[in-house]
Amino acid sequence: MNVEQVISRMTVEEKAALVSGTDFMYTNPIPRLGVPSLCMSDGPHGLRKQKAGGDNGITASEPATAFPTAVTTASGWNPENLRRMGEAIAEECRHYGVHTLLGPGVNIKRNPLCGRNFEYFSEDPYLAGVLGAAMVEGVQSRGVGVSVKHFAMNNSENYRFMGNSVASENTIRNLYLKPFEYIVKHAHPATLMCAYNQINGVYCSENEWLLTDVLRREWGFDGVVMTDWGAVHERVAGLRAGLDLEMPGDTAICRRRILDAVQDGSLPMADLDTACRNILRWVDRYAKPADQAPVDWQAHHDLAGEIAADCAVLMKNDGALPLTGKEKLHIAGELYETMRYQGAGSSMINPTRVTTVRDAFEKRHIIHHSLAECDTILAFAGLTDEYESEGCDRENMRLPEKQIKLIDAMIATGKKVIVVLFGGGVVELPFNDRVNAILNMFLPGQNGGEATAQLLFGEKNPSGRLAETWPIRYEDVPGHETFGKTLQEVYAEGTEVGYRYDRKHGIPVRYPFGHGLSYTTFAHSEWQRDGSTWTQTITNTGSRWGGEVAQLYLDGELKGFAKVYLNPGESTTVTIVTEEETKAVYSDTCMVPALPGSFPITMESRFTDLQQSFMGRILFSAVLSVARSQMRKTEKMPDGPEKENARKGALFLKRILESNSLRSMSMSAGQSMPWHVACGMMEMANGHLIKGIKCFLSPVKVPKLPKEENAQ
């Protein structure tokens, strides 16, 4: 495609269409000029390609491999896992005709209660950057683009659609932007996805400092910047600030504003052309026909299990693990049969198959004994979808109460108790000192049951290391008093997040960043330095093959790591070359604005705020009825994986509707809730019935889309 020639021939209507998405996951084609449509799909730990006529729910997705989520793969400290996973996901993308995968998510884990932490890598920017870059390289090596998200400072869920992240420039640059900077400079992603939230009072979708000054001019990014779904605010301001593509698009109001701004001169044609140029280059590179080669689904299932086994963390072990196979086992806990293997929200995958722990145990003919016959108890526990999901932050750091009571009851028997954890977030472990072992599988993907059995019975050796700190209690976390409480998130702790905070202030933790045990032992020599090159010799001093991670910390921060695998008695020397960093001095102060009132209702109000008025309560209930209806339908479905996934989808929809704003709801709903309807709802909620009716009767008028003109 001759991009410049295409731009010179495009009408302003075609340009306005090109910078807006369509049909939820596509770019607008320009048939007259031979510009095809590019298809995107949710990731980041597997493909969620919607079938024709899909409702953006799990039941309407094509089967794909559910790989371990980021909380799991980060704990492997092995970039090769992410590279291989990215290659496999890209193969599935090409099979289904998907041109760009929406992921990875690389936001910093600022607080353990963030409901989407399962989809992010780490509290450490270097670890997150290296692993994110490896996945980007893996996906893009197979001719599929990525969209690194969520740029930037999207570190909580409760108010993510309208929240204001208030932080100093030093905090922003030296912590929260670091993973994105590393990935842009080392892996050259096709696109970045801007976040919903504000940064110091300016929404990311129209933040020129973020999207142009830093991203493009300083870092040299030359790809496409798109919005998260429904994250656009003032569309013209966004174009001027460096935002290329609005997703999911099909919003008449945004096209109308672009056309009017070009006509009155408030939007220079050069700014619109720049966005079109970036999009056309992306489309030209990645919008290729679907690959007809079949996918080796079994190989991908096996890979998912292999990665899960490499990433699990043995947090505690007094010798109870590995099991010999001769123990008389009693198995307790709901997650034994209904293993939680993926997160809840927009990244939910329709797996090609699922191997639960029960499946893996039955394959090994493991016998389940009673609280009276056994000598060892396996307790399967962890966070379920009710407690952890995109769309809301967790209320506390505790496991479900019924699970705590179950584990306490198992301990009371006096038998050996081994806890196997599943889940995407950090939890308090009040039973830690009273159990014999804790194996954390996190969210291990569709073959996680096999990986769990391999590790428990010593067929494989745990080699994962924690990618985030596990506090003893939530009260030890900086900012715990205010996190997720209001639409204003003040980052008062600065860069002191996770291990940085604990080490500086001497806070005892349950398990530190980088912690992980093995069934073998290792010896490390002292680090040797030659300029920017650091070397260390690692020896397997135990009796089993195993993996170990060399971790290099300078001035209290992780600056390099390497994972090695050694046979008993074997030694190797790891080499880490640290990157030269220019230590720039940035402001460490920030202005904290006053919180706005919750009434009257504005287009940016949280949807739950509508309940403050009589008409608002009616409107709120009407919209939420969609989720309630979907939940009722799931209850009538026969028991099985399809029902469980449909239930998760309905629960996620409820959370998203509650936390949304009228503006973002309209921006993401397209023709099903156009701008004039959202405005009418706002007026009605404020008691302005006549104004509301006038809005309902005043749709925004725009020209037909290029694909519709072609159809004529």
Tracing tokens 């021939």 back to the chain, one arrives at: 9
In 3D space, the residue among 662, 657, 69, 164 whose CA is nearest the CA of residue 391 turns out to be 657
**Distance separating alpha carbons of residues 309 and 29, to the nearest angstrom:** 43
23 burial level (CB within 10 Å; 0-12, 13-18, 19+): middle
Q: Which residues, 6+ apart, have CB-to-CB distance to 2 below 8 Å?
A: none
**Distance separating alpha carbons of residues 513 and 556, to the nearest angstrom:** 12
**Distance separating alpha carbons of residues 104 and 43, to the nearest angstrom:** 7
In contact, 351 and 66? CB cutoff 8 Å: yes
In contact, 609 and 601? CB cutoff 8 Å: yes
In 3D space, the residue among 26, 50, 34 whose CA is nearest the CA of residue 99 turns out to be 26
Please provide the DSSP assignment of 500-544 as one string: HHHHHHT--EEE-TT--B-SS-EEEPPPEEETTEEEEEEEE-SSS
* β-pairing verdict for 26-27 and 21-22: antiparallel
Amino acid at 474: Y
Q: How many CB atoms lie within 10 A of CB 261?
A: 20
Tracing tokens 């290729």 back to the chain, one arrives at: 288
632 burial level (CB within 10 Å; 0-12, 13-18, 19+): exposed
Helix axes 448-456, 297-311, angle to 10 degrees: 40
**Distance separating alpha carbons of residues 205 and 223, to the nearest angstrom:** 16
Q: How many CB atoms lie within 10 A of CB 512?
A: 16
In three-state secondary structure terms, 315 is strand
Tokens of 51: 């079938």
**Distance separating alpha carbons of residues 455 and 19, to the nearest angstrom:** 49
Helix axes 675-685, 662-669, angle to 10 degrees: 160
In 3D space, the residue among 470, 524, 543, 78 whose CA is nearest the CA of residue 322 turns out to be 543
Q: Which residues, 6+ apart, have CB-to-CB distance to 582 below 8 Å?
A: none
Amino acid at 67: F
In three-state secondary structure terms, 471 is strand
Tracing tokens 């030890």 back to the chain, one arrives at: 476
* β-pairing verdict for 164-166 and 198-199: parallel
- Report H helices in 167-319: 169-171, 178-187, 208, 235-241, 252-264, 269-286, 297-311
**C-alpha dihedral (71, 75, 81, 87), degrees to nearest 10:** 10
**Distance separating alpha carbons of residues 534 and 531, to the nearest angstrom:** 8
Tokens of 369: 């004994």
Please provide the DSSP assignment of 589-651 as one string: ----PPPPPS-S--TTSBGGGGGGSHHHHHHHHHHHHHHHHHHHHHHTSPSSHHHHHHHHHHH
Q: Which residues are catalytic?
A: 228
